[in-house]
Amino acid sequence: MNCEVAHERIVLAAYGELPDEHIHELDRHLASCAECREEREQLKALKALVAVHPVVEPDANLMARSRLRLEEALDALPPKRWYEKLSQRLMNNFASLQTAPVAAMLLLVVGAGAGSLGGYEFALGRTAHAVTKAQAKAVVAQMQTAAVAPAEVASISSIVQQPNSNLVEVRYNQVVPQRVQGSIDDPTIRQLLMLASEDANSTGVRDNSVGLLAAECRAGHSCQAAGIRDALMVALRYDRDEGVREKALQGLEPYVSQDMRVRDAVLEALLNDSDPRIRSQAISLLEPVEADTSVRQVLYTVANSDQSPHIRNVSRQVLSRVPEIQ
C-alpha cells in the first residue's frame, strides 16, 4: 500500500467506514510509515477538538423556508417558448434517437426550424432595440431644446425684477450658471420662483422669490392651490427667516376665506410663529372669517393664555366686534 491510498483509508477508518479487510492492511502500513502515523494522530486530535463544541441543529423551519424561496425563484423565471421546450425534450432523448434514422431526421428538421425561428426573433429584437435607441435620442434632443425643468436646476443664484416692468430675470445653476428671462406669468419663470422659495442656501433668493409670488397672488393673477399657493404655505410654516414668512402670509391673504388649507396655515402661524408681528398680522387676516368655529376657538385660546400681552389684546378686540360669538 502506498501513502496516497493510506491517507484515504485513514480518513475512512477515523469515521468507522473502512471495511474490516482493509483495516489490517492499513495497520501494517502505519507500522512502517512514520508520516502516515503522524497524519492519523493529527486527524484524531482534530476530531477531539471538534467534539468539544456542541453541534448546532438547524431550525426546523429551515427546509420549509428554503423550499418556499426556491419555488418563488422558479415562479419568477420567464416561461420557456414552445420551441425551447421541444428542443430540451429532444436533447434529453437524444441518446435513444441516435438509433432511429427517421427520428434523427425529424430532429434535424425541427432543429433547423427552431434555429430559423430563433434567428428571426433575434433580428426582430435587434430592430426593436435600434428603434428604441433612435426614439431615446429624439427624446433627449427634445429635452435639450425645451424649456428648463425644475429637476434640472441645481440652485437659484439671483432674482431681479426690472424697474417699472413685468419682466423678471432668474439666474440659476446647472453644471454651469444659466439664466432665463421672461414675464412673471411665464410657466418656466413661475417654476423657478417656486423652486427658489425652497432654496435653503440663500435667504435673499428665498425672500425675492416669495415676494414676487406673494405679489402675484395679491394682484389677483393665477395663483392655483397646487402651485404658488402651496409654495407660500410651505414658506409660512417652515422658513427660518421672519421676513420670508411675513411675505408669504401677505400673499395668502386673498385666499383665507375660500381655502381651508390656507386658513389652517394662518391659524398655525398665529399659534406657533416666533415673531409677534407675524402673529398679529395673522389675526388681522382672520377677521373676515372670525365666525368660523376653528378660528373662534384659536382666538379664544390666544386671548386667554398667550404669553404676549399685545397678542392677547388684539385677539380680544377682534372677538369683541362680534357679540354673538362671545
For residues 255, 258, 260, 266, the Cα torsion angle rounded to the nearest 10 degrees is 30
Give the bridge partners for 155, in sequence order: 173
Give the bridge partners for 173, in sequence order: 155, 177
- pTM recorded for the entire structure: 0.47
Whole-number average pLDDT of the chain: 75
> What gap in Å lies between CA 310 and CA 276, rounded to an integer?
8
Q: In this predicted structure, what is the pLDDT of residue 108?
A: 56
Please name the residue ranges forming H helices in the chain: 3-14, 20-32, 34-52, 62-76, 82-92, 94-97, 101-145, 187-196, 203-218, 230-238, 242-252, 260-272, 276-286, 293-305, 309-320
- Specify the pairing of strand 177-183 against strand 167-173: antiparallel
> What gap in Å lies between CA 184 and CA 192, rounded to an integer?
10
Q: In this predicted structure, what is the pLDDT of residue 9?
A: 85
**Range with the largest mean pLDDT of 34-38, 66-70, 101-105, 200-204:** 34-38
pLDDT tens-place string over residues 181-224: 888 878 888 888 888 888 777 888 888 988 888 888 888 777 77
What stretch(es) of the chain map to CATH 1.25.10.10? 150-325
DSSP label at residue 170: E
What is the gyration radius of the CA atoms in the chain, in angstroms? 41
- Which residue has cell 430592430? 127
Strand-by-strand arrangement of the 155-161 sheet:
155-161, 167-173, 177-183
CATH of domain 150-325: 1.25.10.10
> What gap in Å lies between CA 326 and CA 300, rounded to an integer?
9
Q: In this predicted structure, what is the pLDDT of residue 145?
A: 46
DSSP 178-206: EEEEEETTSHHHHHHHHHHTT-TT-HHHH
44-53, 139-148, 219-228, 260-269: which has the minimum mean pLDDT?
A: 139-148
